[in-house]
Structure 1
C-alpha cells in the first residue's frame, strides 16, 4: 500500500500557484471504540460487550469484503436477467454484515454450513469471485466445476450451499460431532433462515446437540420473510433465539458487523469451553426477493426496502463509522470501490467465456478421494466412469 494518500503538489497553472497538502496514512486513527446494540439474552448470565474495538486495518478489510459481496450479487442479478445464469439463484445483498461478522469471530479452521443463500459464505470461506461467478454460469472454472450452480458451492471447511430447507442443520451437528470426536478445539457454525426455523429436524438436532454437548453455533439469519411470508404470519413465536429452549441463545443486530462479530466471539468461546451448543438469531434483511423468480415487492413495499437501505445498511454503517472517526478517507474508500468493480467485471467476463464442463465429467468427483469407479447409467447396460 502507498505510504502517502495525497502527495504534495506545488505547480503553476496559468500563473496561479496551486498547493495540495500532503496527508499520509499515518494521519489516520489506527483504531477506535464504538458503542454497539445490546443483545437480547436467553439462559445466559452475560452477553457480548456493549462496545467494540475496530482497527483501521480490520475496517478496510470488512468494507472491501462487504462491497465485493454486494457488487457480486448485483452482477449476478444482471446476468440472471440476461438469461446467462439459469435455474435457482438466491442473492445475499443486505445481509453482508452477517457473513463478515461471523467470520471475524471464528477461525478459518472452524467449519461452516448454510442453506442455499450461500454466495457470500463461499467468498468468506476462501472462494474467489471468479470461481463463484463461473459456478453461477455453470462453467468449468466454477468452484464446483460448473456442476453445482448457485445452491451448491463448497470450499475447505465449508459444506455448502444446501437446497433442502433446514436439512443442513443436522448435517452441521454431524460436523460438530466430528470436531468433538477428533478433539481439535474446532466448532461448526450451522446457518438457517427464519423460514426453516419451524422444521422438525431442527428441533431434533437441538436435542442431540445439547445431550452430546456438541461445539455447534446454531445461527438463524432472520431476514423477516420466509419466501413471501412474513415471520409474524409463519411463526407463533418470532423469538427465534429462544427456540432452543434448554440451549442458551442471543438475539443480535445482524446489520451491524461489529455487533455480529462480538456475539460470535462469545458464542465461539461458549462452544470451545465445552458448554455445548448455543443459538444466535441475527436480525437482518434481504434487498432482493427470496430468489430471482421473486420480484420481492408483492408482499412488502418498496418503501419498506428503501427505509432499511437508508437507515440500517451494513456497508453504509461501517463507512460512516470509519469516516467520522478519521479511520479512512472518502478517496480511499472510493479507490476500493473501483478495484472491487473491476474484479467483478473481470470475473463476469471469465464466467461468460469459460467453456462448460465436458460430458465426460458428468459422473466425476462423486467422492472426494476414492479411486476410479464404475457408476450405473440410466439402463443396466450403461456404465460410466467416475474419478475423484
Structure 2
C-alpha cells in the first residue's frame, strides 16, 4: 500500500511548482544530440546542448568507440580498485594530465561525482570552504558532504573573498581552508577571476579548487580556464567533465601526483562505483587528442558564439555579461521565460528556459549554447525566430 502522506506531499509539491512556472518538462530527443535535433517528429535548431565542439556526433570518436567495444566489451566489469581499471582508463588519465598541464589525473563517472568525491576526500569537519555564491549545485553538495564549514562569498567579489579568508584564518578554528569556484559560470557565462583568487590563496595559504566543467574545451585554446590564465602551477585541484566540450561522459580531477594517489584510495565514487565504459574512455581520449592537435573546433565555437551574441544584442535582448559562448536571454519572470521557450519550440528553436532554483528568482532566462557544429544559416534562422517572438511578447 502506498503512503498517503507521500502521495499528498508529491501531488501538492508538483502542483505548486507548476503554479509558479518552475516545473520542468523533459523532452526526449529522437536521434543524436547535434546542432539540429528531432523532438516529437519536429526538427529544431538546438541551442540547449553542452556539446560545445560538436564532438558528441563526431565520426572519429564514433569509430574509436566502436573499436573499443570490440576489443574491451561494453562495460568495465568492476570498480576501479578491484579489476575495473582497464588500460584504456590509464591511457585516458595520462592524456588528461598532459592536456591540463598537471602531474597526474583521475577519472570518474561524471562531473557531479568528481565534486562529491574530491571535496569530501580532501576536506572534513575540522576545515572550512570559501565558496562562490553562484557555484554549481554539485560543488554545493560536495561541500556539504565534506562536513566542512561552508563560507559563501559574494559572486566574483574579491574584496569579500579576501575579508572572509582573513577572518577564517585569524579565527584559528580550521586546519585547512579551501577556496572553490567554477571556472566558467554556466548560467551567466562569466569567467572566474582566477588571478585574483590565486593571489588571495597564496596570501592566506588556501587550497585552490577550480570546477572547469564549462571552461575545458572552451577557454585556454581548449585546455580550460586555468590554462587561459597560465595558472597550471598555482591551482591545486582542476576538475572537469568529459560530457560537455569533450562530447562523451565522465569527469576528472587533475593535479599533483600525491593528490591523485590520495583520491584513488579515499574518494568514495572511485572506490564504490564501476568505471566508465571502454567506449567512453576511448572516445574521450580521442577527443582530447583532437583538441591538443588543433584549435579549429575551439575557434569555430567562439566565432559562432560571437555571431549569435552580437545578433541577439542588436535585436535588443538582455544577454547579461557573458564572456563566453554561453548566451542568456534574461526575461525575468519565470512564467514568461517558460512561455518564451515554448514559443521558440513552436517556431523551430530548442532553447530551454532556466528558472529558480537554478537561477535566482526574478532572473529567469532562456539560455543559448551555440556550438562549433552550427552553421551561419542555422544561427540566422534562430535570430529571425528570436526577433519574431521577442516583439510578439514585448521582450524587445
TM-score (norm 2): 0.33
Select the structure with the greater relative contact order (CA < 8 A; seq sep ≥ 6).
Answer: 2
- Between structure 1 and structure 2, the one with the greater Rg is 1
Q: Give the structure-1-normalised TM-score.
A: 0.34
